[in-house]
Amino acid sequence: MTQAVTERSAGTDTVSGTLVAVVGPSGVGKDSLMDFARLHFAGRSDLHFVRRVITRPRDAVGEDHEPVTLDRFEALSQAGAFAVSWRAHGLGYGIPADVYQSLGRGDVVIANGSRSALEAFRSAFANLVVVNVTARPEVLAKRLAARGRETAADIEARLARATEPLSPDLHVVEIDNSGELDAAGRTLVDLIESLLHKD
């Protein structure tokens, strides 16, 4: 069960920038797609990729997050350091509240999100676009095993994780990443381009 909390309301966000939440099941390729886009847009000052705060030890595999203890995570949460925080897979995750500075400038901010925390995201961010990444189930199992970050038991639990359908009130863009990363990556890049040139 994910407990998601909106720690700051959209009132703090002076409403111009767009927060892009990339969601989808474990192993679907969220981090790989964000890395693809990060490389493509390297050097742009109006696009930001969120470094999440996670109660997961630093490791060489996967995303570059800020590792914290659970006590530190809770203290940060109490201190209002997160725009949104949630729990999943036995871990705490937080989106640092400094994203509001970028959003206030009208920039685009990309974050790895959680399907179960999207109501909290919607409350936190006035302009929210959800990128729902999908892949065929048999592909997920192979990718998680190849990534090698979790134990076999953890992988099984991640594959068994059930989530509700996304709310129809959300602005959702679907990207199928069952095939080559480049194809799905280009779709994400095109979406980001359109958001950067929205005005």
Ligand X SMILES: O=P(O)(O)OC[C@H]1O[C@H](OP(=O)(O)OP(=O)(O)O)[C@H](O)[C@@H]1O
Ligand Y SMILES: Nc1ncnc2c1ncn2[C@@H]1O[C@H](COP(=O)(O)OP(=O)(O)O)[C@@H](O)[C@H]1O
Question: Contact positions toward ligand Y, by CB under 6 A?
Answer: 24, 26-32, 62, 143, 146-147, 177, 180-181
Beta carbons of 18 and 128 less than 8 angstroms apart:
yes
Cβ-Cβ contacts under 8 Å for 90 (sequence gap 6 or more): none
| Structure letter (DSSP) for residue 86 | E
Would the annotation count 109 as a binding residue?
Answer: no
Q: Residue 39 or 79: which CB sits closer to ligand Y?
A: 39
Q: Residue 8 or 30: which CB sits closer to ligand Y?
A: 30
Would the annotation count 30 as a binding residue?
Answer: yes
Q: How far is residue 44's CA from residue 10's CA, in Å, rounded to a whole number?
A: 25
Q: Which strand (E) or helix (H) includes residue 65?
A: none
Beta carbons of 188 and 131 less than 8 angstroms apart:
yes
Please choose which of ligand X, ligand Y, none residue 146 contacts, taking the beta carbon within 5 to 8 angstroms, the exact cut-off set by kind.
ligand Y
Residue from 89, 154, 172, 196 touching ligand X (CB under 6 A): that is 89
Would the annotation count 179 as a binding residue?
Answer: no
Supply the minimum distance, in Å, between the C-beta of residue 162 and ligand X: 9
Supply the minimum distance, in Å, between the C-beta of residue 117 and ligand Y: 15
Token couple for 143? 């990718």
Residue from 77, 161, 173, 196 touching ligand X (CB under 6 A): that is 161
Strands 18-23 and 108-112: parallel
Site string for ligand X, 26-65 (x = CB under 6 A): xx--xx----------------------------------
Identify the CA nearest to 132 among candidates 186, 171, 74, 76: 171
Q: Residue 21 or 103: which CB sits closer to ligand X?
A: 21
Beta carbons of 37 and 192 less than 8 angstroms apart:
yes
Supply the minimum distance, in Å, between the C-beta of residue 128 and ligand X: 15
Identify the CA nearest to 55 among candidates 72, 68, 71, 64: 68
**Contact positions vs ligand X (CB under 6 A):** 2, 23, 26-27, 30-31, 88-89, 93, 112, 114-116, 158, 161, 163
